[in-house]
Amino acid sequence: MKLIPHLRGAAIGLLSSVAALVFAAAAAWLILAATGASPLEAARAMVLNGFSDASAAIILNSAAAYYLSAVAVAFTFRLNLFNIGTEGQYRIAALCAAAVGAGLSLPAPLGQVVIVTTAMIAGAVWAAIPALLKTLKGVNEVISTIALNFIAIGLISYLLAPGRLGSGSGSNMGTAPIADGLRDSGIDIAVQGAGLHWSSLLAVAAGIGFYVLIERTVFGFDLRAAGRSVDAARTGGVPLGRTIVIAMVLSGATAGLIGMPALLGDSGSFTLSFPSGLGFIGIAVALFGGNRAAGMAVGALLFSFLDNSSNVLQLMDISNEVVRIMEGLIILAVVITNRLTSRWRTNQARPDRLKDMSAAPAAPAPVNAGGDA
């Protein structure tokens, strides 16, 4: 009997996400129509391109990177701690992993383990800086992580200069390539051109790890409790400082994995043209998925699909920024509908005599019943 309200809740959650998507699509439709392009043609081209064999593997690979990035920020978002520094963390981590990998001559599985572990440690160390600044000095994490993103840019270009870790010049300036034996050979699925990377499976592992750690352990309970109410968590004996540091370190370690599919699968070395911006996309994906393991998976696939299939729009003389606008609108619509449904749920959970009191102030109510919602 208890299942029915749960099912109804899930259905409403799903419905609100769909409503948000429809709203964003309608807005994009209007924008396209207003600028004289044909929305129907554009949508058709995007869908056809997205589901073609060649782009399916590309979309899955980049969805893996988006998902890792989303999981990384979700570790801290669930604690109500806004780590904007994933961008710097994964780039520093990828550089360190590439530099270590270039000097390795280990057999295949061991070498990759060393490279991936290096990336995780480097990401964790870079993320520990804002965590310690916050717990020891009270520095706002939003601002310190943003500043550290810029500092990471400077540090990377310093380290990449010839004679330090890098060689070459211009945008080719980068680390020496990783030995072929340690590269990601790709999973042979029935697609032409591009293949799915083994390292993309790291995303699956990270998702499972995230779910178990956050939803099924004492640490995860502490983290969620502190995210909801610091006062209640402190009263309940949650060690706040330690929770903050551990959450940030986990976030940084996961961020370290973001660059792995690109490093091991595609480029084989860290250059100045290494993919950037993956950290910021992760924030959008995490917000879309409500920081839940399953929701973020849907978000990663959706955003990866939108980003990769938007390139076809340029062939039609439409700026693919329309897709960016659509992504921003999706986020806004999702957070608003989430807020509205959670308010609705709270109202449903109230005793019957208090129900709808806030929604209908005109009804005769006790004098001190509170104002409008």
Partner 1 sequence: MTISTITAQDGPRTQTGPGQGNRRQAMLTILCGIALAVALVPHATDLVSADTITTALVLTCPVALAALGGVWAERAGVVNIGLEGMMILGTWGAGFGALQWGPAFGLVFGMACGALGSLVHAVVTVTFKVDHIVAGVAINILAPGVAKYLSSLTFAAMPGGGTTQSPPVPSLPVLPLPFGLGGLSTGIVLGLVVFPLSWWLLWRTPYGLRLRFCGENPVAATSLGMRVTALRHSAVISSGALAGLGGALLVLASSGLYRDGQTAGRGYMGLAATVFGNWTPSGAFAGSFLYGYMDALQLRGGGSAVRTVLVVAALACGILAVLVLLRRGGLRRLAPPALAAVLLTAITALTDSVPEQVAFVAPYMAVLVALVASGQRLRPPAALGKRHDIASS
Positions touching partner 1 (CB under 8 A) are 31, 35, 79-82, 84, 133-135, 137-144, 146-151, 153-155, 157-158, 161, 226-227, 229-231, 240, 244, 280, 283-284, 287, 319, 321-325, 327-329, 331-332, 335-336, 339-340, 346, 358, 370-373
List Cα–Cα distances, 162 to 64, 109, 170, 267, 299, in angstroms: 32, 30, 11, 19, 40
Both tokens of 200, joined, read 């993309």
The rounded distance, in Å, linking the Cα atoms of 208 and 201 is 11
- Give the nearer residue to partner 1 in terms of CB position, either 91 or 197: 91
Nearest approach in angstroms of CB 304 to partner 1 is: 15
Cβ distance 70 to 299 under 8 Å? yes
The rounded distance, in Å, linking the Cα atoms of 196 and 200 is 7
Nearest approach in angstroms of CB 26 to partner 1 is: 16
String of DSSP letters for 149-216: HHHHHHHHHHHHSBTTTBBS-GGG-BPPPPPGGGS---B--S-SS--B-GGGGHHHHHHHHHHHHHHH
Cβ distance 164 to 158 under 8 Å? yes
The rounded distance, in Å, linking the Cα atoms of 150 and 94 is 16
Nearest approach in angstroms of CB 277 to partner 1 is: 11
- Give the nearer residue to partner 1 in terms of CB position, either 138 or 193: 138
Angle at 362 between CA 358 and CA 364, to 5 degrees: 90
Nearest to 24 by CA among 312, 323, 304: 323
Q: Is 271 helix (H, G, I), strand (E, B) or coil?
A: strand
Q: How many CB atoms lie within 10 A of CB 111?
A: 19
- Give the nearer residue to partner 1 in terms of CB position, either 134 or 183: 134
Nearest approach in angstroms of CB 97 to partner 1 is: 20
- Give the nearer residue to partner 1 in terms of CB position, either 98 or 260: 98
- Give the nearer residue to partner 1 in terms of CB position, either 105 or 235: 235
- Give the nearer residue to partner 1 in terms of CB position, either 117 or 135: 135
In a 10 Å sphere around its CB, with 0-12 CB exposed, 13-18 middle and 19+ buried, how is residue 203 labelled? buried
Nearest approach in angstroms of CB 86 to partner 1 is: 12
Nearest approach in angstroms of CB 220 to partner 1 is: 15
Nearest approach in angstroms of CB 151 to partner 1 is: 5
Nearest approach in angstroms of CB 230 to partner 1 is: 5
Both tokens of 253, joined, read 């370690």
- Give the nearer residue to partner 1 in terms of CB position, either 215 or 321: 321
Nearest approach in angstroms of CB 211 to partner 1 is: 21
The rounded distance, in Å, linking the Cα atoms of 331 and 343 is 18
Nearest approach in angstroms of CB 311 to partner 1 is: 15
Cβ distance 98 to 175 under 8 Å? yes
| Euclidean distance between the first and the last CA atom of the chain, given in angstroms as a whole number | 31
- Give the nearer residue to partner 1 in terms of CB position, either 159 or 179: 159
- Give the nearer residue to partner 1 in terms of CB position, either 44 or 228: 228
- Give the nearer residue to partner 1 in terms of CB position, either 188 or 372: 372
